[in-house]
């Protein structure tokens, strides 16, 4: 019996139910496009999803939602995203950070969601640099969209800021919150990330990433979008250079006028028929992978002396951000304490949480046998936490150890397993596709490998690609 083409044909099929896929889906369903999101996993959210172990709820990633401006503030990515999705700001429950820090030996720059503090800190700790710093900031604020594409940020920093330590320190949060390349980052991305971190700022929903995913799913349902979970795409069907549908893992075929893939650039290339060993695939796999420890504490972190929201640390005057040579690169990293946001009076997280992120080697972690892998996690967990505690002066490591009631850890192996990201590369491919095109007609990239990443960035990317390549292109 022939199935009705109507059930198997869509205006747009979206691969991936992460931030980018959901945002793109909402836009298209809002304007009556027949849209279907296909997701390999049972849980939505992609790289920023959630899980439970032994009755405790965990977020995969969420340290901080970036781009968080105060309610009422307009003209920046977050409010414009919310408008595009017609999701009220309250639905994301974004509570501002308390205060974060960049910690290098001999210098410590604190910052909050108002830029003034960072400026004061630079003025105080880098005598004679403040004028150069202000000029550098002005240059960033006045950059036109896309300006600095293909230009080295290190080059611009070197010509703008005389003090090398200040340059390295400013790079640290920027790279950690979005560089898919080692050592240096494209200046156009630097500008975007600078604004999202320093000018706008950090926030977090009290209940974590679930709140944001819930809001997106509710909205997607409300506008009539459909999705299928545990429904991986095995192949993108391409006919003479034109994408026309997908083949699912169970062999079913669906057709579509357009396909938006949020799976990543090399991953999408493989879906179109390339082999994993093809040079075109290999050369664009991101080489930066990360590990993260999560310690659940029996007390509120503040009582243990942890006052910061996020700490970006590095153990020497030169910032290390490159492919790890060993299992874990302990020289730099990020500490996050989700308790330390300004939640409404009378509310708080039930337990203390301390998260430590470092760069990790994908090759090493995937080469381990299962027992060796478990053993290595055990070993590195303590070392990662200890090295991070060096950057929390006044916090007693022994007290942290004795207050830790539960631990979890993920590695690049976990990222590959749950999101399919080649190389466990959270920030995706080295080379991005800013206009979202792929070389295959009717197939577009959104999310991480279009170039905007992070939670807000990925959603914004989904919206932009849906607008540009589907809504503005008109109906087929």
Alpha carbon 318 to its chain's center: 24
Measured at CB, which residue is nearest to ligand FAD? Answer: 46
Q: Which does 20 bind (CB under 5 to 8 A by kind): another protein, ligand FAD, none?
A: ligand FAD
Q: Which does 447 bind (CB under 5 to 8 A by kind): another protein, ligand FAD, none?
A: ligand FAD
| 449 close to 271: Cβ distance less than 8 angstroms | no
Q: Which does 80 bind (CB under 5 to 8 A by kind): another protein, ligand FAD, none?
A: another protein
Using CB under 6 A as the binding rule, whether residue 15 contacts ligand FAD is answered as: yes
Query: Least separation, in Å, of the C-beta of 428 and another protein?
Result: 24
| 417 close to 138: Cβ distance less than 8 angstroms | no
**What does residue 235 show for φ and ψ, rounded to 5 degrees?**
-150, 145
Query: Least separation, in Å, of the C-beta of 268 and ligand FAD?
Result: 8
CB atoms within 10 A of CB 411: 26
Using CB under 8 A as the binding rule, whether residue 476 contacts another protein is answered as: no
Using CB under 6 A as the binding rule, whether residue 448 contacts ligand FAD is answered as: yes
Give the residue with the Cβ less far from another protein, 248 or 471.
471
Largest CA distance in the chain: 79
Q: Which does 63 bind (CB under 5 to 8 A by kind): ligand FAD, another protein, none?
A: ligand FAD
Can you give the length of the chain in residues?
476
> What does the radius of gyration of the chain's CA atoms come to, in whole angstroms?
22
Using CB under 6 A as the binding rule, whether residue 430 contacts ligand FAD is answered as: no
Query: Least separation, in Å, of the C-beta of 79 and another protein?
Result: 8
Binding mask 263-282 for ligand FAD (x = CB under 6 A): x---x---x-----------
CA 340/CA 349 separation, integer angstroms: 9
Residues in binding contact with ligand FAD, number by CB under 6 A:
38
Residue 141 β-bridge partners: none
Using CB under 8 A, which residues numbered 19 to 38 contact another protein? Answer: 30-32
Using CB under 8 A, which residues numbered 56 to 115 contact another protein? Answer: 72, 74-75, 79-80, 83-84, 86
Q: Which helix (H) or strand (E) holds 408?
A: strand 404-410
Using CB under 8 A as the binding rule, whether residue 325 contacts another protein is answered as: no
Using CB under 8 A, which residues numbered 439 to 468 contact another protein? Answer: 463, 467
Give the residue with the Cβ less far from ligand FAD, 184 or 247.
247
Produce one character per residue of 272-310: b if its CB has 16 or more CB atoms within 10 Å, e if not: beeeeeeeebeebbbbbbbbbbbbbbeebbeebebbbbb
Which among 37, 404, 443, 71 is positioned nearest to 237, based on CA atoms? 443
Q: Which does 396 bind (CB under 5 to 8 A by kind): another protein, ligand FAD, none?
A: none
Using CB under 6 A as the binding rule, whether residue 20 contacts ligand FAD is answered as: yes
> What DSSP designation does 336 have?
E
Using CB under 6 A, which residues numbered 215 to 244 contact ligand FAD? Answer: 232-233
| Residue 251 backbone class (left: φ over 0; alpha: ψ -120 to 50; beta: rest) | left
> What DSSP designation does 295 have?
E
Helices (H), 130-251: 130-142, 153-160, 164-176, 187-194, 209-222
Query: Least separation, in Å, of the C-beta of 474 and another protein?
Result: 8
Using CB under 6 A as the binding rule, whether residue 424 contacts ligand FAD is answered as: no
Binding mask 111-130 for ligand FAD (x = CB under 6 A): --------------------
Give the residue with the Cβ less far from another protein, 147 or 378.
147
Using CB under 8 A as the binding rule, whether residue 472 contacts another protein is answered as: yes
| Residue 128 backbone class (left: φ over 0; alpha: ψ -120 to 50; beta: rest) | left
Which among 186, 170, 212 is positioned nearest to 65, based on CA atoms? 212
Residues in contact with another protein by the rule CB under 8 A: 30-32, 72, 74-75, 79-80, 83-84, 86, 463, 467, 471-472
Residues in the site for ligand FAD, rule: CB under 6 A?
A: 15-21, 38-41, 46-48, 60-66, 232-233, 262-263, 267, 271, 292, 415, 419-420, 426, 447-448, 453-455, 458
């Amino acid at each position: 019996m022939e199935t009705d083409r109507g059930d198997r044909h869509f205006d747009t099929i979206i691969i991936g139910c992460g931030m980018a896929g959901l945002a793109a889906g909402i836009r298209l369903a809002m304007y009556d496009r027949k849209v279907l999101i296909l997701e390999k996993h049972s849980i939505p959210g992609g790289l920023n999803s959630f899980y439970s172990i032994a009755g405790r709820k965990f977020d995969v990633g969420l340290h901080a939602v970036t781009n968080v401006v105060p309610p009422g503030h307009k003209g920046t990515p977050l409010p414009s995203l919310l408008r595009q999705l017609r999701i009220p700001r309250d639905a994301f429950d974004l509570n501002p950070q308390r205060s974060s820090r960049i910690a290098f030996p001999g210098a410590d720059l604190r910052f909050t969601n108002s830029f003034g503090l960072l400026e004061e800190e630079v003025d105080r700790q880098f005598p004679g640099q403040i004028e150069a710093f202000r000029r550098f900031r002005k240059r960033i604020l006045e950059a036109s969209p896309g300006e600095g594409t293909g230009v080295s940020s290190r080059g611009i920093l070197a010509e703008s800021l005389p003090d090398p330590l200040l340059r390295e320190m400013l790079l640290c949060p920027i790279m950690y919150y979005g560089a898919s390349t080692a050592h240096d980052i494209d200046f156009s991305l630097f500008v975007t990330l600078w604004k999202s971190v320093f000018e706008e700022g950090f926030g977090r929903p009290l209940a974590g990433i679930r709140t944001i995913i819930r809001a997106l799913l509710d909205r997607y349902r409300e506008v009539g979008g459909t999705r299928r979970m545990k429904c991986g795409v095995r192949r993108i069907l391409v006919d003479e250079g034109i994408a026309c549908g997908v083949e699912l893992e169970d062999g079913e075929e669906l057709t579509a006028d357009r396909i938006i893939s949020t799976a990543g650039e090399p991953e999408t290339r493989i879906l179109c028929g390339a082999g994993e060993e093809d040079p075109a695939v290999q050369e664009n796999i991101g080489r930066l992978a990360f590990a993260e420890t999560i310690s659940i504490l029996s007390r509120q972190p503040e009582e243990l002396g942890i006052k910061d929201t996020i700490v970006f640390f590095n153990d020497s005057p030169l910032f290390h951000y490159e492919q790890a040579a060993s299992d874990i690169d302990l020289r730099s990293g990020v500490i996050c304490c989700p308790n330390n946001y300004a939640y409404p009076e009378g509310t708080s997280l039930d337990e203390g949480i301390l998260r430590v992120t470092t760069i990790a080697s994908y090759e090493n972690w995937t080469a381990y046998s299962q027992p060796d892998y478990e053993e290595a996690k055990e070993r590195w967990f303590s070392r990662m936490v200890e090295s991070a505690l060096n950057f929390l002066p006044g916090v007693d490591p022994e007290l942290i150890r004795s207050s830790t009631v539960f631990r979890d850890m993920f590695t690049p192996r976990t990222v590959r397993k749950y999101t399919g990201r080649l190389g466990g590369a959270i920030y995706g491919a080295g080379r991005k596709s800013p206009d979202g095109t792929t070389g295959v007609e009717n197939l577009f990239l959104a999310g991480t490998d279009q170039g905007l990443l992070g939670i807000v960035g990925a959603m914004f990317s989904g919206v932009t690609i849906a607008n540009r390549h589907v809504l503005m292109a008109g109906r087929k």
